[in-house]
Amino acid sequence: MKDTTRFLNARHGVGAALLLGVCAAQAAVTLSADGVGNTYELIESKKFGIEVPDCKHNVRHVREALDSELKKYVFAFDIHRDLDDDRCSATDRQRVEIKTSPEGSPTQQHTRGETAYYRWKFKLPSGFQPSPSFTHIHQVKAYGGDDDSPILTLTPRFGNPSTLQVIYTGSSNSGVKAEVNLAPFINTWVEAYVRILNDDNGSIQVTLRRLSDGASLLSWKSGTLDTWRTGASYNRGKWGIYRSLDNKSYLRDETVLFADWCVTETAKKDCPSAIKKQ
């Protein structure tokens, strides 16, 4: 990079080098924890929105904590079974999420025909308790128009055994598209990758791999699917804990860890994998 900048300075002046820096910066939006405190401010500085029940349960539900395995700070999403609701309104569900927001950069707002690439890490705690109802840890949703149901979710589901589901909801062919045992996801860091072409004739790819050795835990490619909603302005990603209280007895207080979001509309390589063994 230094050699390239030196060449541009010599041949075209400093302006060309600055332009190169701007283009590189716009290739992807990243969000990583940087230490305890000012967590909401850090998230919002990267144009992510925050959806939390803080106004009724007056604590910050997203914080930063030092992770001994990754040896760096990560984001801890805390949800409390008997104290939290959905953004201080709906009481039949609970939500602690961040999202690419209406005020976000164009890179975070995926309009019709655009392809979005997401990469991030997450860790479900030991003893994690899903319910027979929904517990979403990732969603892709429309903004505007027919935006009630998510297009894509990653959903731990109670069962015998409990599973992690990839669920698609669209104009047709909706339902669980991939399902694997939940046990390998517990108490282990997972790198998630999602590619979605946002269009009437769109497509989705989901890949979940164990961070320590790159082992594949779930892989699904959709083929052609309708990933665009009538009247939508754009699609966006959401991450955190969004769960129903319809089967409250199955649930407990939970802390789910997240780290190192990368969002781009240019190419998969602009959100590179942290896994050394490919």
For the chain, what is the mean pLDDT? Answer: 91
Please confirm whether the linkage preceding 132 is cis (ω < 30° from 0).
no
- Note down the domain range covering 15: 1-28
Cβ atoms 194, 138 nearer than 8 A: yes
130 and 255 fall within a common domain: yes
9 and 59 fall within a common domain: no
Q: What confidence tens digit (pLDDT) does each residue in 75-111 have?
A: 999 999 999 999 888 999 999 999 998 787 899 999 9
Residue 5 tokens read as 């900048």
Residue 278 counted as domain residue: no
DSSP 185: G
155 and 80 fall within a common domain: yes
Sign of the dihedral defined by the CA atoms of residues 179, 193, 126, 244, in that order: negative
Q: Which amino acid is at 153?
A: T
Residue 146 counted as domain residue: yes
pLDDT band at 135 (very low <50, low <70, confident <90, very high): very high
pLDDT band at 231 (very low <50, low <70, confident <90, very high): very high
Residue 277 counted as domain residue: no
Three-state SS at 156: strand
Residue 275 counted as domain residue: no
Instruction: Mention every residue, 6+ apart, whose C-beta is less than 8 A from residue 172.
Output: 226
Three-state SS at 96: strand
116 and 16 fall within a common domain: no
Residue 224 tokens read as 């052609």
Structure pTM?
Answer: 0.89
DSSP 106: G
Cβ atoms 80, 255 nearer than 8 A: no
8 and 75 fall within a common domain: no
Residue 136 Cα distances to 227, 238, 243, 271, angstroms: 18, 10, 6, 23
19 and 39 fall within a common domain: no
15 and 63 fall within a common domain: no
Q: What confidence tens digit (pLDDT) does each residue in 169-218 have?
A: 998 999 999 999 999 999 999 999 999 999 999 999 999 999 999 999 99
What gap in Å lies between CA 61 and CA 64, rounded to an integer?
10
43 and 148 fall within a common domain: yes
Three-state SS at 230: coil
21 and 121 fall within a common domain: no
> 85: domain CATH number?
2.60.120.200
What gap in Å lies between CA 68 and CA 77, rounded to an integer?
17
Residue 132 tokens read as 């027979």
Give the residue-averaged pLDDT of 8-15.
Answer: 38
Number of domains in the chain: 2
With 60 as the cut, is the pLDDT of residue 6 above it? Answer: no
174 and 198 fall within a common domain: yes
With 90 as the cut, is the pLDDT of residue 24 above it? Answer: no
